[in-house]
A and B are shown apart, each in its own frame.
Chain A
Amino acid sequence: MEIPYIVTPRKDTGLFNSKIAIWLFLASEVMLFGGFFSAYVFLRLGADFPWPERTLPVLPGLINTFVLIGSSVTVVFAWASLKMGKWRHFQIYMGITIACAALFMVLKAIEYNVKFHHQAVRLTDYTVVEGHLGYEKENGEYVLNHHGSEVEENQIRIESGGLTFSTVRYHKPWVEEILSQAAHRNAEIKLAADVTARTSEGGNQDTLIAKAGEPLSLELLATIQKAHLKARAHNGALRTASLREEWKKTKAENPGKRGWQLASDVNIDVKALEEAGKLLTEISTVSFTVTPPVRLDFRPRDVREGETQSRLRDDTVIDGKLLPSPMGFHYVDAIDFRHLAMKAVNKGLDPIAAVENSWLIQNHTFAREAWEWNKAQVAKLEADLLKDHGVNEETGKPNREPTAKERYRIDWKDFVAMSDGVNRGEGKIALKEEFMGPDYKGREAKETFPMHFDLPREQVRFASKFTPAWNTYYALYFTITGLHGLHVIGGALVLAYYLFFGRKMFNSNPEWLANRVEVGGLFWHFVDLVWIFVFPIFYLM
C-alpha cells in the first residue's frame, strides 16, 4: 500500500505527515522534560539541606555541550546534502553526528562511573565527608579481602559464633560468601543439632534428615528446605481437606442456615491431627555453630546489626558480638560543613563555633589543619571583596561576601592548594583529574592527601555513594541526564539506520529519505536543546 503524504505536503496542514507526527511528539517531550525541570525547581526551593551548587566538574559537561552542538550542526548539513543530492557528503556529516553521539555517551559513562565509586557520609552532627572507602594498609599494601580484591565498601564486622538460616529465605550467594569467609579464617560451620522430622503420615518414628556436626553446604540447606517444603505442602493440603470436611459436617447438622452464620463454629482440631500423627514436621529454621567463633564481614545494607545478635535481610540470624566497624576512608576528598552550619544557624547558634566543636574537627588533626587553612583563605577573600567592592552605605555591610560554599566546604582542590602552599584555586590540577577526580595514587607519594579517616559507626548518620540516594540533587541529576542520555541513544540509533540502510531509498526516492532525515534531525536538535538547559542548571547553578 502506498503511504500517503510522505513526500508531498497535505493540503490542509501544508506539511508531510511525518513532520506533523514528530512535532506532536516533540510537544509531548517538552512537557515530559518540563515536568522534570519543574520538579527540580520545586525540590530546590524546598530543599532542607544546602543545595550542592556548582558541584560537578564543569569540563566534562562543557565538552559534552560542544559535542552536542557540533552534532546539531552536522545533522543539519547531512540533511542539506541529501536535499542537494550528495550522498557522499551525507555519509560524512551523518557519520560525524553519530560519532559525536558515541563520544557524548562515553563521557557521560565516565561521569556516572566516577560518581558510583564516590562515597559520601553524613555524620550525626551533619558534617559531610566525601571520598573513597578502603581499609588501612599494612607494609604499604592494601588490605585485600579473601577474594583478593580491594575492599571498597564499609563492612559490618561480627564475631560470629552461631548462624541460624531461614529454610525458605536463605540467599545462596550470601551463604557462599559466609562459607568462603569462614574457610579463609579457618573456622568450621557445623550443624548445631540433629535435624529430625516426621516425614510420612502416621509414622511414629522421626526420620533423621541431617546429623549434628554436618558441615554447612548449599546441598545440606537444600535437603532441609526440600523436607520443609514437602511437609508444609502436605500440612496445608491436610488442613484444607479437614476444613472442607468440617464445613460439610456443620452444614449437614444445621440445614437452612447461611454460611456466614456458621463460620465461627467451623474449626479444625489441629491438635487431634497432630496426635493422629498426620501432620509432618516443618523445619522453618536451622542452626549452625561456628567453631571457633570468627569475624564475618557484612555489607551495611544487608545487615541489621545488634550488640549480641544481628540479622541479615534474608532472615539469617547471626549470634555474636558486634566488633568495631568504622567507616574506613582511604582517601577523603572533601569535608563539608555547610549542612552543619545551616543547622547551627537554624538553632540560633554561631556556625563557626559549631564547626569547631564538631566531632571531625575535635578528633582529626588533618581536618583541624584544613579548617584553619580554610579560615585564613576566607578571611583573605573577605578582605579582597571588601577592597574591591566596598560596603553598602545604607546598611554598612560589605557589598560582597564569601559564599557558604567558600566558608564551609574544603574539597580536594583545596587540599592540593594547601599542600602546595598556594592560595585557593591556584593548586595545580591535571586535565585527567578534572574528569576523574583526584589522582590519589600519584598524589599519595607527595603526601598531599589526607588519608585513613576512620569514622566510628556510631558517628554515621547516613552513608551512600553519589547515587540518587544521596540527596534530591543527585536524584534529579541522574533522572534528567539519564533520560536525556536515553534520548541520545535512541536518536543516534535512528540516524545510524538512515546512514547505513538509506542508500537503497536514496536511489529510489531521495526526497523521502531527505524527509526522514529531516524528522530524525528535528528530534536530534531537540535533544541538543534539552542539553542546552541541563548543562547550566546542573553544572553551573
Chain B
Amino acid sequence: MANTAEEIQKSIRTYLIVGAALFVGTILTVAVATVPALDIGHHGFDMWDAILGLAIAATKATLVAAVFMHLNHEKKAVYWIFGSGIIFVIVLFGLTAFAKNDPIHDPLFYGRMSTTPAPLATPTLR
C-alpha cells in the first residue's frame, strides 16, 4: 500500500499510464466494432465480436480494479469479500445457460405449430 508521500509520487506515473491505456482500450473497442477491416468472425456482429469486445472490456476493468482500486496490493480481507461477490455473479451468469432449454422457445409448447418450418436456402438470417 502506497502510504508515504514518496511512494505516491512514484505511483502517479503508473496512474497516468493506466489512464492512457484505458483511453486506448476504449478507442480499440469502438474500432473493432465499427471499422469493417477489423471485423472478426462473420461480417457484422456475431459471437466473435462479442467475445473480443467483452475481452477488451474485461481487460480495462481489470486495470481499473488492480491499479486505481489498488487491488494489486490489497489486504486479504478485501480479496475474500470482493472475490465472493464475483463468484456469486459467475454462478448467476451460469444460470442463463438454462435459457437454451427454456420451454418458451419450444414452438410446440403452446401447441400452435404442427409442422416445423421448411429450411430456407437463401438468404440466411442470423
* B partners with A: yes
Shortest CB-to-CB span from B72 to chain A, Å, is: 13
Q: Within 8 Å of chain B (Cβ to Cβ): is A26? A: yes
Q: Is the CB of B57 within 8 A of A41?
A: no
Q: Within 8 Å of chain B (Cβ to Cβ): is A541? A: yes
Q: Is the CB of B123 within 8 A of A34?
A: no
Q: Within 8 Å of chain B (Cβ to Cβ): is A234? A: no
Cα distance A352–B124 in the bound complex, in angstroms: 11
The chain B residue with its CB closest to the CB of A80 is B8
Cα distance A69–B85 in the bound complex, in angstroms: 24
How many B residues touch the partner, as a band? 35 or more
**Contact digits for A385-422, partner B, Cβ 8 Å, 1 yes 0 no:** 10001000000000011111111000000000000000
Q: Within 8 Å of chain B (Cβ to Cβ): is A230? A: no
The one of A66, A73, A529 that contacts B61, using a Cβ cutoff of 8 Å: A529
CB-CB contacts below 8 Å: B1-58 with A: 2-3, 5, 8-9, 11-12, 15-16, 18-19, 22-23, 26, 29-30, 33-34, 42-45, 49-50, 53-54, 56-57
Shortest CB-to-CB span from B112 to chain A, Å, is: 11
Shortest CB-to-CB span from B75 to chain A, Å, is: 4
The one of A46, A80, A385, A401 that contacts B124, using a Cβ cutoff of 8 Å: A401
Q: Is the CB of A38 within 8 A of B78?
A: no
Cα distance A200–B80 in the bound complex, in angstroms: 76
Q: Is the CB of A406 within 8 A of B44?
A: yes
Cα distance A41–B90 in the bound complex, in angstroms: 13
Residues of chain B within 8 A (CB-CB) of A35 are 92
Q: Within 8 Å of chain B (Cβ to Cβ): is A84? A: yes
Q: Is the CB of B64 within 8 A of A45?
A: no
CB-CB contacts below 8 Å: B60-75 with A: 60-61, 64-65, 68-69, 75
**Contact digits for A38-60, partner B, Cβ 8 Å, 1 yes 0 no:** 10011001100000011000100
A62-B45 contact given A46-B102, A345-B120, A401-B123, CB 8 Å threshold? no
Residues of chain A within 8 A (CB-CB) of B108 are none
Residues of chain B within 8 A (CB-CB) of A80 are 8, 11-12, 15
Q: Is the CB of B75 within 8 A of A401?
A: no
Q: Is the CB of A533 within 8 A of B57?
A: yes
**Contact digits for A513-541, partner B, Cβ 8 Å, 1 yes 0 no:** 00000000110011011001101110011
A532-B60 contact given A26-B82, A31-B88, CB 8 Å threshold? yes
Q: Is the CB of B125 within 8 A of A541?
A: no
Q: Within 8 Å of chain B (Cβ to Cβ): is A445? A: no
Residues of chain A within 8 A (CB-CB) of B110 are none
Shortest CB-to-CB span from A383 to chain B, Å, is: 13
Q: Is the CB of B85 within 8 A of A27?
A: yes
Q: Is the CB of B100 within 8 A of A45?
A: yes
Q: Is the CB of B69 within 8 A of A525?
A: yes
Cα distance A30–B88 in the bound complex, in angstroms: 9
Residues of chain B within 8 A (CB-CB) of A23 are 77-78, 81-82
**Contact digits for A434-446, partner B, Cβ 8 Å, 1 yes 0 no:** 0000000000000
Q: Is the CB of A20 within 8 A of B77?
A: yes
Cα distance A77–B13 in the bound complex, in angstroms: 11
Cα distance A346–B125 in the bound complex, in angstroms: 10
Residues of chain A within 8 A (CB-CB) of B42 are 400-401
Q: Is the CB of A41 within 8 A of B99?
A: yes
Q: Within 8 Å of chain B (Cβ to Cβ): is A268? A: no
Shortest CB-to-CB span from B60 to chain A, Å, is: 5
Cα distance A233–B69 in the bound complex, in angstroms: 65
Residues of chain A within 8 A (CB-CB) of B123 are 351-352, 401, 407
Residues of chain B within 8 A (CB-CB) of A24 are 81
**Contact segment of A11-19, A239-247, A471-479:** A11-19
Q: Is the CB of A31 within 8 A of B5?
A: no
Cα distance A6–B60 in the bound complex, in angstroms: 31
Cα distance A342–B124 in the bound complex, in angstroms: 10
18 example contacts (A-B, Cβ-Cβ < 8 A) are as follows: A20-B77, A27-B84, A30-B89, A34-B92, A35-B92, A37-B93, A41-B99, A72-B64, A77-B12, A80-B12, A83-B2, A351-B123, A389-B43, A401-B42, A529-B64, A532-B64, A536-B33, A537-B54
**Would you list the 7 A-B pairs with minimal beta carbon distance, nearest first?**
A27-B85, A34-B89, A403-B44, A400-B43, A73-B19, A540-B33, A348-B117
A-B contacts besides A46-B99, A53-B45, 11 pairs, CB < 8 Å = A15-B77, A30-B82, A31-B85, A69-B19, A70-B19, A348-B118, A348-B120, A401-B42, A401-B123, A528-B68, A535-B29
